[in-house]
Amino acid sequence: MIDFLWNLGSFVIALGILIAAHEYGHFWVARRCGVKVERFSIGFGKAIWRRVGKDGTEYVLAIIPLGGYVKMLDERVDEVPEELKDQAFNRKTVWQRIAIVAAGPMANFMFAIVALYFMYLIGVPALKPVIDATRIDSPAAQIQIHEPMLITSVEGKRVRNWEEVTYALVSEIGEPHIDITLTPLEYSADGTLGTKYRLNTESWKFDPDKESPIASLGLDFYRPEITPVLGLVSPDGAAAAAGLEVGDTLIAVNGTPYGGWDDFVSKIKASANQTLFITVKRAGEQFKLKVIPSERKGPQGQIEGVIGVAPTQADWPENMKLQLEYGFIDSFGVAADKTWQLISVSFKMIGKLITGDLSVKNLSGPISIAQGAGSSASYGLVYFLGFLALISVNLGIINLLPLPVLDGGHLLYYFIEVITGRPVPEKVQEIGFRFGAAMLLMLMSVALFNDFSRL
């Protein structure tokens, strides 16, 4: 329940900030173009707060925080007094209307730059993309790893951390091959001493519900040694009920000596609702505890056991850590470049959804966004800022889609007006709005279905 409330609160805050940025873009440009703004609303439905400003605009916070709007004076919607007609949206030139409509998505992109600017100014701890093995029967099987290797570039683009590797790989989904450059960890990270490998990805299948794009290619990223000491015991799990505690050292399971964390997890998963005797060492003494793993559904729908524990691991080597931190001026350039990368990747993903290279199962809805908001907020401000930037970019791009109910649909009509010299007939616009609403509803339904299937 606490996790749900935390996720919900983080989601509402994140969405409120991003909607405010988007609608303020429309509002600011509309005012500069001489359009009278009657209402600026964050949320829909009944108002929980309202105030009329000196500019005559009514500012509203509404009860349903799933959107917002800027209501402008418009003769197509309401009757407008003669003395105010020059302030009506529909009386403005087509280029002014284009600027007003495009300002919302542009504000989202600008907000992403601002969020990333502060993120990089504060500094983001990250890990270098180091791999220590490859899997057989995978696109990366040709690479022989004898020592930890640093991924320095993907398709010629320099990468510094795992996030950048992930974005670079995802943008290449559907391509017949991917070039990656590996460099021994102790060498320079500029890639000049690296070895380029061309991975055959014609049969590459990536399912984000099962594993990361890195793992699906067969690249095993380096992890510090996992110790047999328990670092977490969930208070409502089977382990806690049996008496296991943080700091216990695993010794044996059913009399068989502890053979590593992966082996331990395999035994737990195979023993749902079955009795296990786990021997641990605590304060110099050994205890044999009776544990009955609870059951849960695995990624393939199979029943597997779980007891609610996690191990400790050795510290990350200093040469694998990275602090993405820049100065007052440099942070802006890095933030702008990162925003452009996010925009490029997002547009590529839309193209891959259309071509079928990416499944609609990868679409996420409000539940996944809420979980992401709560998770990033729990890690700290810099991670929440990065999350806001990512969602802001996606919100801007979604609004640019040429669906008549979105900003992109309005822009499509206005550009047709630029070309033909006359507005699109209202009857055609109405048909388009109905089609756009149906398409948007269908996409939202698929995203929600995906969200529920991941729960």
Query: Please, are residues 385 and 114 in contact by the beta-carbon 8 Å criterion?
Result: no
Q: What is the pLDDT of residue 114?
A: 94
pLDDT digits (tens, 9 = 90+) for 219-260: 888 888 888 999 999 888 899 999 999 999 999 999 899 988
Task: Point out the residues of the chain with pLDDT beneath 70.
Answer: 1-4, 7-8, 187-193, 208-209, 299-300, 355-379, 443-444, 446-455
List Cα–Cα distances, 129 to 140, 152, 222, in angstroms.
15, 8, 8
> What is the C-alpha separation between 219 and 197, in angstroms, rounded?
13
Reduced to 3 states, what is the DSSP secondary structure of residue 59? strand
| Residue type for position 392 | S
DSSP 132-145: EEE-TTSTTTT---
Query: 297 to each of 189, 201, 232, 302, how far by Cα in Å?
Result: 42, 30, 21, 5
Q: Are 304 and 269 in contact (CB under 8 A)?
A: yes
Q: Where are the alpha helices (DSSP H) in 66-191?
A: 94-122, 162-170
Strand-pair category, 294-297 with 303-306? antiparallel
Domains of the chain are 226-313 (2.30.42.10)
Helix 381-400 and helix 2-32, axial crossing angle in degrees, nearest 10 = 50
DSSP code string of 211-266: --HHHHTTEEE--PPEEEEEEEE-TTSHHHHHT--TTPEEEEETTEEP--HHHHHH
Q: Is the pTM above the cut of 0.75? A: yes
Closest CA to 289 of 260, 320, 249: 249
Q: 214: closest CA among 162, 142, 155? A: 162
Residue 362's alpha-carbon distances to 36, 301, 349, in angstroms, are: 41, 18, 10
Active site members: 23
Q: What is the pLDDT of residue 53?
A: 86
What pLDDT score was predicted for residue 120?
Answer: 92
Distance, in Å, from the CA atom of 99 to the CA atom of 161, rounded to the nearest integer, reads 37
Residue 292 Cα to chain centre, angstroms:
36
| Spatial contact of 159 and 190, defined as CB atoms under 8 Å apart | no
Per-residue pLDDT, 119? 92
Task: Classify burial at 430, counting beta carbons within 10 Å of its beta carbon; exposed 0-12, middle 13-18, buried 19 or more.
Answer: exposed
Q: Which amino acid is at 110?
A: M
Which tokens sit at 84? 């105010």
Query: Residue 32's pLDDT is what?
Result: 93
Rounded CA gap, 115 and 381, in Å? 10
Q: Which of 154, 215, 211, 203 is CA-nearest to residue 181?
A: 154
Q: How confident is the model at residue 191, as a pLDDT?
A: 47
pLDDT of residue 377: 63
Rg of the chain over all Cα atoms, to the nearest angstrom: 27
